[in-house]
Amino acid sequence: MGRVSCKVVVLTGAARGQGAAEVEALTREGATVVATDVLDGEGVLHLDVRSPTEWAALAQTVRERYGRVDALVNNAGVAARERLPHVSLDVWQRTFDINVTGPMLGIQALVPLMGPGSSIVNVCSVAAMSGHAAAAYTASKWALRGLTRTASLELGGRGIRVNAVMPGLIETPMMANASPAFAAAALAEIPLGRIGTTADIAPLLVYLVSDESAYVNGAELVVDGGLTAHVSHKRIADATSG
């Protein structure tokens, strides 16, 4: 028996990178994972997390197939690297729509299918632990951190746990779009001396979905090699701008 055997888990942003690793880890430990993404892929249901209609359709599909949801992993997210004062409104709105509104809509749609002992995990970022120079991304992740705290209070009475995972610099397609200068400057600030991998994050998701974390609620779990223990994010941004 795996650590999450018989649990039905809905996971967004599952087509590649960190999401795909989380699907693999949860499946390996016995979960039935409903993998979703705006990107089409084998075994992945289409879901634009910005759409209440698509969330409602997903909830209906899960209800008909399984009758319940044991965990929701809000993993989908986008980067936005514009710095103040040069932040375009369309980028700002899209970032919040995906990074904040998406998880909120997921909670609204799936909580009616969740019973006591269920778990919600919001994949946040170390950008929500201190000030970062990327304005829209940082603000959206702070908002997601706040949503996590609020949800942990509101849903705790139902026995539903809500926690946040705060990854640091992880080798994913999102990270691949960053400049080599950014990666080099950031790497110099990580005490463990390496960029993280998806294998550093996925086991924590298994733990938070499993009954092993039955008394963990409202937590913010940082996985960053020690980056936020000391780092100046503005110094990294300044070293790589231009």
Instruction: For residue 157, give both structure tokens.
Output: 């009475």
Give the domain ranges of the chain.
8-241
- 44: DSSP letter: B
| 137 is an active site residue | yes
Catalytic residue chosen out of the listed positions 66, 137, 207, 215:
137
The model's pTM: 0.94
Return the CATH architecture of domain 8-241.
Answer: 3-Layer(aba) Sandwich (3.40)
What confidence tens digit (pLDDT) does each residue in 13-60 have?
A: 999 999 999 999 999 999 999 999 999 888 999 999 999 999 999 999
Question: How many of the other CB atoms lie within 10 Å of CB of 173?
Answer: 11
Length of the chain: 242
Q: What distance in Å separates the CA atoms of residue 161 and residue 159, rounded to the nearest whole number?
A: 6
CB atoms closer than 10 angstroms to residue 188: 12
196-222 pLDDT, tens digit each: 999 999 999 999 999 999 999 999 999
